[in-house]
Amino acid sequence: QSALTQPASMSGSLGQSITIPCTGTNSDVGGYDHVSWYQQHPGKVPRVLIYDVSDRPLGVSNRFSGSKSGNTASLTISGLQAEDEADYYCISYMASVTTTFHVVFGGGTKVTVL
Amino acid sequence: QLQLQESGPGLVKPSETLSLTCAVSGASISNDNDYWGWIRQPPGKGLEWIGNIFYTGSTYYNPSLKSRVTISVDTSKNQFSLRLSSVTAADTGLYFCVRIVSTWYRLFDPWGQGTLVTVSS
């Protein structure tokens, strides 16, 4: 299963903004608007932050926003707070005529708040 | 409110079969919109998709695990299950069940609490 590419780690200072990229191909991220983002604190259950590239579920802070350009989707965290220190994962629908599965995951990005 | 809860042995011997069940409450598993999936996370590593199932029984598996994985659904009990055969230490990790909204994999929510499975003799 091909993985979406995310940087292994990123850091930002309190109050700053950080943008996490998630790069795929025109068969997944670039071809469809079904990219979602998840936050996972150590030992906790992943929580959805963004779906369909830029939609936010009820209850998710508007400090989290999503976008896409070409084959790269991005999650932006504005006004970084200490509690934003976590792992972040992207997931995308993937079209394929050669396989029977249609989903691809990113490897995750560990965000450190300085 | 939709909730998922995993259950099963926390310790499995090498070469044996890992079996987990996910009980779904708060909504019917028999709906035309959702998949029901399994995801795992080895200690200190990222999320890995294992596979998912539609209530009709149609299944989709990660090709790296396909030869060892079986996911099944029991609509009468509103639950679905995972079997992973010939396990090794590399199969140790946290196993989550999850509802996948839409056959377009639009979002994964909610997740079960996760169950830790250790493969060891």
Tokens for A40, please give them.
Answer: 């996972």
Q: Please, where are the H alpha helices in chain A?
A: none
pLDDT tens-digit map of A10-67: 999 999 999 999 999 999 999 999 999 999 999 999 999 999 999 999 999 999 999 9
Q: Does A8 lie at the interface with B, CB-CB under 8 angstroms?
A: no
B-contacting residues in A 91-110 (Cβ below 8 Å): 91-93, 99-103, 105-108
| pLDDT classification of B102: cutoffs 50, 70, 90 | confident
Contacts of B64 in chain A (CB under 8 A): 1
Taking a C-beta distance cutoff of 8 angstroms, is the pair A7, A107 a contact? Answer: no
Q: What is the pLDDT of residue B41?
A: 97
- Measured between CA atoms, how close is A16 to chain B, in angstroms? 26
Contacts of A54 in chain B (CB under 8 A): none
Tell if the CB–CB gap between B108 and A1 is shorter than 8 Å.
Answer: no
Contacts of A36 in chain B (CB under 8 A): 105-108
Contacts of A106 in chain B (CB under 8 A): 46
- Measured between CA atoms, how close is A37 to chain B, in angstroms? 8
DSSP string across B19-68? EEEEEEESS-S--SSEEEEEEEE-TTS--EEEEEE-TTS-EEE-TTTTTT
Tell if the CB–CB gap between A36 and B108 is shorter than 8 Å.
Answer: yes
What CA–CA distance (Å, rounded) separates B10 from A103?
28
Contacts of A45 in chain B (CB under 8 A): 96, 111-114
For chain B, the average pLDDT equals 96
Tell if the CB–CB gap between A100 and B109 is shorter than 8 Å.
Answer: no
Q: What is the pLDDT of residue A98?
A: 73
Q: Which one-letter DSSP state was computed for residue A3?
A: P
Least CB–CB distance from A108: residue in B47, B102, B109: B47
Taking a C-beta distance cutoff of 8 angstroms, is the pair A5, A72 a contact? Answer: no
Summarize the confidence of residues B19-36 as an average pLDDT. Answer: 96
pLDDT at A1 > cutoff 80: no
pLDDT at A2 > cutoff 60: no
**B110 preceded by a cis bond (ω within 30 of 0):** yes
SS3 A13: coil
SS3 A22: strand
Taking a C-beta distance cutoff of 8 angstroms, is the pair B12, B93 a contact? Answer: no
pLDDT at A70 > cutoff 90: yes
pLDDT at B60 > cutoff 70: yes
Q: How many CA atoms lie within 13 A of A35 on its CB side?
A: 30
Strand partners, A92: A35, A104
Least CB–CB distance from B63: residue in A34, A99, A107: A99
| pLDDT classification of A3: cutoffs 50, 70, 90 | confident
Decide which of B109 and B102 is more confident: B109
Q: What is the pLDDT of residue B88?
A: 97
Angle CA(A79)–CA(A80)–CA(A83) in degrees, nearest 5? Answer: 130
pLDDT tens-digit map of B71-97: 999 999 999 999 999 999 999 999 999
Taking a C-beta distance cutoff of 8 angstroms, is the pair B52, B59 a contact? Answer: yes
Comparing CA positions, the residue from A48, A63, A49, A53 lying closest to residue A24 is: A53
Tell if the CB–CB gap between A34 and B114 is shorter than 8 Å.
Answer: no
